[in-house]
């Protein structure tokens, strides 16, 4: 049966500039014939429960992954071809294919992860091996061509997200290697309109990016293990990142607004720390961590991490500072600041906040507690009061001067 297939895995792994991204090559063979081949990088974002909260971890398909002989196959008249890669203690990624003779596609995506693996899932509240399956993957190509997609493609499967990037894939292969003809995915067709070689000639005409304006205000919440809201935030966020631009061949300063409708929320709540993690299509991840000082009953925004993998970057951008002291307030209160604030994180990244209200601890009945307003707002509220008082004072002085003047001139007439 399937066991007599001679299967081989050839793993070519190389590390990107940052050393984090691993491209893996996987092959399913039957006899001397290769029927499925994939070259790709895969990252998994998985949310799991601990005894007190939920956590989100990000792991990538390691270069030590192997094709599992027992469950991979080239398919028969009655069964679909499958590529199943296994890694670590009981984790697996599977792709099941289908074809109608002119097109082939990934009909099923299967992800299996073992919560007993404490190196990836510390403090998981269950030892289960979780298997999740999705049948809307959106990867398809003309038969006898290689499916190619450099842009990240994210697929939701259960509570997890699987993101493929730098992908080359073919099933129902006519030869033993990837076909030279490619079916390029739509994301690549739109994002790489100008080949890099022409970049130097287009820079002179390239318009500077339009300033994004004030970001929209989003409402974000993180749930406890029992489903109750434990962190609430309403705010507009703008990233100010400086990085080396491929298209402009120089370091540029870019302002990027987070659009709430395109942002997914995760995070965790612990007794003395709470994190809000905002993710946009797996290419921007912002992690805001609040800590509580239980001696003083004060909390603060103590750590900010940004991971950005924008198309114009030479390498993914990672910036983190874990000794910050922003958005300070008292336990049992929310923090509020209507004025724009700039939170410096590292020299190449700062975060601009607009109309913030946040409460990372002791949220009850899904509502903000009484707000403690930031100093800038209080000062700004004082300005109209001071101006008003000054004007009133001025009017009073003029009035007194007038009255005195009138009295004097009146007296003058009388003496004549
Ligand atoms: C596979 O290739 C080897 C050497 O090229 C050959 O000896 C063998 O017969 C082939 N096996 C099949 C099933 O074609
Ligand atoms: C976490 O626990 C909640 C409540 O028990 C449950 O609804 C949810 O499915 C769990 N999530 C995961 C990823 O196991
Ligand atoms: C939910 O869990 C938190 C701590 O994990 C606890 O403080 C709270 O009382 C729980 N709420 C409900 C409704 O069970
Ligand atoms: C967010 O940052 C905190 C503190 O640095 C860390 O404990 C947590 O694991 C991070 N969350 C994610 C999803 O990276
Ligand atoms: C899950 O992980 C644990 C600990 O690493 C291991 O003992 C167990 O065999 C794994 N389960 C499977 C199905 O591989
Ligand atoms: C295969 O499916 C595609 C898209 O659904 C369709 O355009 C094509 O005509 C189909 N080909 C055959 C041979 O059924
Ligand atoms: C960043 O994006 C590139 C291409 O868009 C992809 O090849 C790479 O794997 C991504 N890196 C990470 C860490 O997501
Ligand atoms: C694909 O290639 C094989 C082998 O070259 C050929 O027999 C088959 O007709 C091709 N299929 C299509 C749809 O072009
Ligand atoms: C980028 O700029 C450097 C120096 O400014 C120059 O030497 C190099 O040729 C440029 N590269 C491209 C692709 O324009
Ligand atoms: C972005 O950061 C740069 C460098 O820190 C700074 O000069 C610039 O004023 C910032 N822009 C905004 C809109 O915050
Ligand atoms: C999000 O909202 C903006 C403006 O409000 C809109 O332009 C954009 O298309 C929306 N995106 C999605 C995915 O709904
Ligand atoms: C907590 O607050 C107290 C009193 O303000 C201070 O002495 C202590 O250093 C703080 N602890 C931490 C971990 O910041």
pLDDT in tens, 227-283: 889 999 999 999 999 988 888 888 899 999 999 988 999 999 999 999 999 998 868
User: Does residue 148 contact residue 192 with C-beta atoms inside 8 Å?
Assistant: no
**pLDDT at position 314:** 81
> What are the tokens at 248?
């402009």
**pLDDT at position 54:** 83
**Backbone Cα Rg of the chain:** 30
The phi and psi torsions of 250 (rounded to 5 degrees) equal -160, 165
**pLDDT at position 372:** 93
Q: What is the pLDDT along the chain (416 residues), one digit of tens a residue?
A: 333 333 332 222 233 333 345 789 999 999 889 999 999 999 998 988 888 888 888 889 999 999 998 889 998 877 889 999 999 999 999 999 999 989 999 988 989 999 999 999 999 998 988 888 888 888 999 999 999 998 888 888 887 889 999 999 999 999 999 999 999 988 887 654 433 333 333 333 333 345 678 999 999 999 988 788 999 999 999 999 998 888 888 889 999 999 998 899 999 999 999 999 999 886 899 999 999 999 999 999 999 999 999 988 888 888 889 999 999 999 999 999 999 999 999 988 999 999 999 999 999 888 999 999 998 887 777 777 777 888 888 888 888 888 888 877 766 555 54
> What are the tokens at 306?
């940004």
**pLDDT at position 388:** 80
**pLDDT at position 406:** 81
- CATH number of the domain at 218-374, please? 2.40.160.110
User: Does residue 210 contact residue 71 with C-beta atoms inside 8 Å?
Assistant: no
Q: Is the pTM of this model over 0.95?
A: no
**pLDDT at position 311:** 87
**pLDDT at position 411:** 60
- Ligand 1 centre and the CA of 4: distance in Å? 15
Measuring from atom 5 of ligand 3, which residue has the nearest CA?
A: 52
**pLDDT at position 393:** 84
- Ligand 4 centre and the CA of 288: distance in Å? 8
User: Does residue 31 contact residue 42 with C-beta atoms inside 8 Å?
Assistant: no
- What is the spatial distance between Cα 3 and Cα 14, in angstroms, rounded to a whole number? 30
Q: Verify whether ligand 10 is closer than 6 Å to residue 240 (CB atom).
A: yes
Comma-separated ranges of CATH 2.40.160.110 domains in the chain: 21-185, 218-374
Measuring from atom 14 of ligand 9, which residue has the nearest CA?
A: 200
Q: Verify whether ligand 1 is closer than 6 Å to residue 32 (CB atom).
A: yes
**pLDDT at position 380:** 74
Pocket of ligand 8 (CB under 6 A): 102, 143-144, 174
CATH architecture of 21-185: Beta Barrel (2.40)
**pLDDT at position 179:** 94
**pLDDT at position 325:** 95
**pLDDT at position 196:** 36
Nearest atom (ligand 4) to Cα of 275: 1
Nearest atom (ligand 2) to Cα of 47: 13
Strands (E), 122-228: 129-134, 140-142, 146-149, 153-157, 160-171, 182-184, 218-223
Buried b (16+ CB within 10 A) or exposed e, 55-66: bbebbbbeeebb
**pLDDT at position 78:** 75
Q: What is the DSSP string of 318-332?
A: EEEES---EEEEETT
Let me know the angle formed at the C-alpha of 339 by 338 and 341, rounded to the nearest 5 degrees. 120
Nearest atom (ligand 4) to Cα of 57: 13
Nearest atom (ligand 7) to Cα of 60: 13
Q: Verify whether ligand 3 is closer than 6 Å to residue 203 (CB atom).
A: no
Q: Verify whether ligand 6 is closer than 6 Å to residue 101 (CB atom).
A: yes
């Amino acid at each position: 049966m399937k066991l007599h297939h001679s299967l081989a895995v050839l793993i070519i792994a190389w590390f990107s500039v940052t050393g984090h991204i691993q491209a893996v090559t996987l092959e399913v063979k039957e006899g001397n014939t290769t029927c499925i081949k994939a070259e790709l990088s895969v990252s998994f974002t998985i949310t799991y429960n601990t005894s007190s909260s939920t956590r989100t971890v990000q792991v990538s398909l390691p270069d030590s992954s192997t094709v599992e002989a027992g469950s991979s196959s080239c398919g028969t008249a009655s069964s679909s071809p499958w590529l199943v890669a296994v890694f670590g203690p009981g984790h697996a990624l599977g792709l099941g294919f289908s074809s109608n003779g002119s097109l082939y596609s990934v009909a099923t995506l299967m992800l299996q992860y073992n919560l007993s693996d404490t190196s990836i899932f510390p403090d998981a509240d269950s030892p289960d091996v979780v298997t999740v399956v999705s049948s809307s993957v959106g990867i398809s190509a003309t038969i006898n061509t290689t499916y190619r997609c450099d842009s990240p493609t994210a697929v939701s499967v259960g509570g997890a997200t699987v993101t493929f990037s730098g992908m080359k894939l073919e099933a129902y292969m006519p030869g033993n290697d990837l076909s030279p003809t490619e079916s390029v995915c739509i994301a690549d067709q739109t994002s790489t309109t100008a080949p890099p070689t022409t970049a130097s000639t287009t820079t002179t005409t390239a318009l500077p990016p339009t300033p994004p304006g004030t970001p929209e205000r989003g409402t974000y919440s993180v749930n406890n293990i029992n489903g109750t809201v434990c962190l609430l935030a309403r705010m507009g966020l703008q990233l100010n990142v400086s990085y080396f631009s491929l298209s402009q061949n120089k370091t540029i300063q870019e302002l990027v607004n987070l659009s709430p409708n395109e942002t997914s929320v995760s995070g965790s709540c612990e007794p003395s720390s709470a994190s809000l993690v905002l993710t946009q299509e797996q290419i921007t991840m912002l992690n805001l961590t609040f800590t509580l000082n239980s001696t003083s009953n004060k909390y603060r925004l103590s750590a900010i991490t940004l991971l950005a993998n924008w198309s114009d970057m030479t390498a993914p951008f990672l910036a983190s500072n874990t000794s910050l002291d922003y958005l300070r307030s008292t336990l049992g209160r929310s923090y509020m600041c209507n004025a724009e604030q700039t939170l410096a994180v590292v020299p190449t990244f700062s975060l601009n906040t607009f109309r913030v209200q946040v409460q990372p601890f002791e949220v009850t009945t899904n509502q903000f507690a009484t707000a403690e307003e930031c100093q800038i707002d209080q000062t700004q509220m004082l300005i109209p009061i001071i101006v008003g008082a000054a004007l009133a004072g001025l009017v009073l002085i003029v009035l007194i001067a007038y009255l005195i003047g009138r009295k004097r001139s009146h007296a003058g007439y009388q003496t004549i």
